[in-house]
Amino acid sequence: MKEYRLARDGKLYNFNIDRDPPNISRVVEKKRWGDGSEEFPTVGERYTYEILVWGTLDDLDNKFPESAEPEPPGDPDADLPVPVDTNSLIPQEVIGAAQNAIGEAIAAATAVKDQVTGLLAGLGPVSDSREDIKEEGNNLRALIEEAKRLLAGGLPDDFTPPTPADAKRQNRRLQSDGTLVNFNIDKTKPYRDTRARITFRDFDQPDAPIVTEETNVRIYGDLEDLNTYYPLGG
């Protein structure tokens, strides 16, 4: 089970995990769409998985409450509808027109809901957490910019954008000085799929040596730095 720490900003990080008191751990259930990877093989299918989150009791209770507090006792008849004879208060033609308008509004809302549901399904893997939704939004904007770059002829003819699985394995963080590093990668930031010279190991070959060569890589960073060192159309 993967482990994360819950930071004071409410986000989850997989580094600098403090397992000492007063921190405690809690199993958290999350959901995501399948993306064709080994862990989530079926694209379009909803998967439920668990992670182990470390943090203080108060932070964990605020972010991942184990259960909702019980509702206070109240009047058992409070939720029952009050009997009203609408025919005696509102003309029947007004009631009929209102019913028709409500029916049309429901039909329109249903159509919009179906369109939005189809759009979300086409976006690929999106988790329930706000962080993952933010990441998908950034990735979608970055994908649009990358498409502009490809159309502008800013990459070699033989360049192929990494698949989702490749992008997870070969990704780097762009620092403000233009160097690439493979730690503390914030995947909520914009990215560029490009070709760069990096040091890596072929994960498909367990005994393969570490090599330094030019390969396809996904680079995350601030948009200003990406435009400086990996400009669109350049």
What are the pLDDT digits (tens) for 36-48?
A: 888 888 888 888 8
Contacts of 10 (CB under 8 A, 6+ apart): 63
Mean pLDDT of 85-106: 66
Largest alpha-carbon pair distance within the chain? 86
Q: Tens digit of pLDDT for each residue in 183-195?
A: 898 988 888 887 7
- The closest alpha carbon to 64, from 53, 50, 48, belongs to 53
Token pair for 202: 């072929």
Residue 123 pLDDT greater than 60, yes or no: no
Does the pLDDT of residue 23 top 80, yes or no?
Answer: yes
What is the enclosing helix (H) or strand (E) of 197? strand 191-201
Quote the CA–CA distance of 16 and 58 in Å, as a whole number. 19
- pLDDT of the residue at 218: 87
Overall average pLDDT of the 74-84 stretch: 55
pLDDT number for residue 111: 64
Q: Find the mean pLDDT for residues 127-150.
A: 60
Distance between CA atoms of residues 229 and 208, nearest Å? 30
Q: Of 173 and 213, which is predicted with more confidence?
A: 173
DSSP 61-118: HHHS-SSPPPPPP--TTTTSPPP--HHHHS-HHHHHHHHHHHHHHHHHHHHHHHHHHH
Burial of 11-29, coded b for 16+ CB within 10 Å and e otherwise, reads bbeeeebeeeeebebbebe
Residue 6: pLDDT over 80: yes
The DSSP element (H or E) to which 122 belongs, if any, is: helix 92-122
Tell me the domain boundaries of the chain: 3-63, 86-122, 130-229
Q: What percent of the chain has pLDDT over 70?
A: 56
What pLDDT digit, counting tens, does each position of 147-205 carry?
A: 665 555 555 555 565 565 665 667 889 999 989 998 898 988 888 887 788 888 776 66
How confident is residue 222, by pLDDT bands cut at 50, 70 and 90? Answer: very high
The per-residue pLDDT for 53 is 92
Residues in CB range of 5: below 8 A, 6 or more apart: 12, 13, 14, 15, 16, 17, 18, 23, 53, 54, 55
Cβ distance 219 to 180 under 8 Å? yes
pLDDT tens column, 31-75: 888 888 888 888 888 888 899 999 998 888 888 876 545 555 555
Nearest to 135 by CA among 118, 147, 146, 123: 123
Residue 15 has pLDDT above 60, yes or no: yes
Least confident of 1-15, 132-146, 182-196, 218-232: 132-146
> Taking a C-beta distance cutoff of 8 angstroms, is the pair 18, 59 a contact?
no
CA-based radius of gyration for the chain: 25
| Rounded Cα–Cα distance for residues 196 and 176 (Å) | 16
Q: Could you tell me if 198 and 170 are in contact, meaning their C-beta atoms sit under 8 angstroms apart?
A: yes
Q: What is the pLDDT of residue 149?
A: 58
Name, of 118-122, 205-209, 217-221, the range with top average pLDDT.
Answer: 217-221
